[in-house]
Amino acid sequence: MATTNPVPRFPDGFLWGVSTSAHQIEGAADEREASVWDVFTAEPGRILDGSTAEVACDHVHRHTEDVALLAGLGVDAYRFSVSWPRVRARGGLDFYDRLVDDLCAAGVRPVPTLFHWDLPAGLDWRERDTAERFAAYVAEVAGRLGDRVTKWITLNEPAEHTLLGHALGIHAPGLRLLFDALPVAHHQLLAHGLAVRALRASGARDIGIANSHGPVWPASQEAADVEAAGFYDLLLNRLFADPLLLGSYPDGLGELMSGDVTADLEIIAEPLDWYGINYYAPTRVGAPQGTEIDFGGVRMPAELPFSVREITGPQVTDFGWPVVPEALTEILTTFRDRYGDRLPPVVVTENGCSYEGVDDPERIAYLDGHIRALHRALEAGVDVRGYFVWSLMDNFEWAEGYARRFGLVHVDFDTLERTPKASYAWYRELLREQRG
């Protein structure tokens, strides 16, 4: 439902934006190399609606229209991702060169993410070498765009890419390695650290990462549930944050890493200018139940030391994710308490929900609630500097294909026509009010 009570004022200079990613919107698949997602998508049964991202929103050919939508929305910044497979193709960086020019001309600050899951086909995060190749690619991108890009993101959600893509096999590359996926986490972290060094060497400043985090609530106060929730919290909230912010792996996971990672940890812990948090919903976790569970389409193997449980009570989105704005305040204050001075300023790099329809009061209520929750974190002393809605427009939602719609702009995937939703007008109005 549209809200009338004005959202409290955020500090001057607070960065308001929207996010997308290359594979989810770009299309123009024949103008780039293949990624692990193209290979995965071609395998029967992998994508809910059998679709592909070959055309997606056709953003590569329609970016002028999309930049106009961003300018019309009045955002300060646009978070998009650079496709490594496109950069490897001849002339691949030309597209991002034009996009960055158009954004700057429209007064929208470009904030590229350098890896958002579309690893070039043939590369593999189990190989350490992939981290070094990534740093070389990052140096190439920074060399070309660094004269106009003033804020960078290295990786998007390495936790999901590890867990869903390599441990559980429901995202590309479709591996079901369970805890043998830990080197995938380590090599992405190493890639991040090497990328930070490559960016700084090219003169770049204002570097962050976008990690997904959320509160993990035990299913009950029984010791077995509390212990299982604690372990899940390590995976979601500490496996990536501890090495980045403290320079060490958390007890309980560090021992599982093979070999001596001390020298790598020094690279991984390169100081960050800010820390990005993608937040959608909390997770309720209990002791293992001894059988494979289907959790919202995710097959959770019986041998995992935890089981994800349903959160009953709050409203859920079309994706079945519970709507719990106060959990955003909770995760932000938890991070501040856990990491203290080691936590740089925070930016919420993704937040949003999937609902059908161009008239989308549920999305307005979701965003309104979460932006107020963000303000409460600010009042509680968390140094939050920005907020990005996921997503500018409906797009290819990975294994769910086009069945989930996260956009402020509706996309008709037959005609590719864009139609701003009610939530687009609401966010535009919010930004106007915030600027007084």
Footprint on this chain of ligand IFM (rule: CB under 6 A): 21, 24, 157, 278, 350, 390, 397, 406
Residue with tokens 């991202």: 53
- For residue 404, the minimal CB distance to ligand IFM (Å) is 7
Q: Decide: helix, strand or coil at residue 226.
A: helix
Token pair recorded at residue 68 = 């106009």
Angle at which helices 92-105 and 129-145 cross, to 10°: 50
Would you call 132 a catalytic residue per the annotation? Answer: no
Can 157 be counted among the known catalytic residues? Answer: yes
Q: Are 249 and 261 in contact (CB under 8 A)?
A: yes
Which candidate in 270, 350, 362, 397 is catalytic? 350
Distance CA 430, CA 4 (A): 11
In terms of CB distance, is 214 or 286 closer to ligand IFM?
Answer: 214
DSSP for 175-215 reads: ---GGGGHHHHHHHHHHHHHHHHHHHHTT---EEEEEE---
d(CA 79, CA 350): 9
**Between 212 and 334, CB nearer to ligand IFM:** 212
Give the chain's radius of gyration (CA, Å): 20
Those residues with Cβ within 8 angstroms of residue 426's Cβ, 6 or more apart along the chain or in another chain: 2, 364, 367, 368
Q: How far is the CB of 106 from ligand IFM (least distance, A)?
A: 24
Neighbours of 262 (CB within 10 A): 9
DSSP code, position 254: G
Q: 115 vs 249, which CB is nearer to ligand IFM?
A: 115
Adjacency order of strands within the sheet including 283-286: 216-218, 283-286, 307-309
Cα distance between residue 94 and residue 92, in whole Å: 5
| CA neighbor of 18 nearest in space, from 64, 69, 57, 61 | 69
Nearer to ligand IFM, 228 or 281 (CB): 281
CB of 23 to ligand IFM, least distance (A): 8
To the nearest whole angstrom, how small is the minimum distance from the Cβ of residue 410 to ligand IFM?
A: 16
**Shortest distance, CB of residue 350 to ligand IFM, whole angstroms?**
5
Q: What are phi and psi of 36, to 5 degrees?
A: -60, -25
Which long-range contacts (C-beta less than 8 Å, at least 24 apart) are formed by 124-129? Answer: 124/173, 125/161, 125/162, 125/166, 125/183, 125/184, 125/187, 125/188, 126/166, 126/183, 126/184, 126/187, 127/187, 128/183, 128/187, 128/190
Of 33, 157, 270, 330, catalytic: 157
Q: How far apart are CA 29 and CA 22, in angstroms?
A: 11
Enumerate the active-site residues. 157, 350
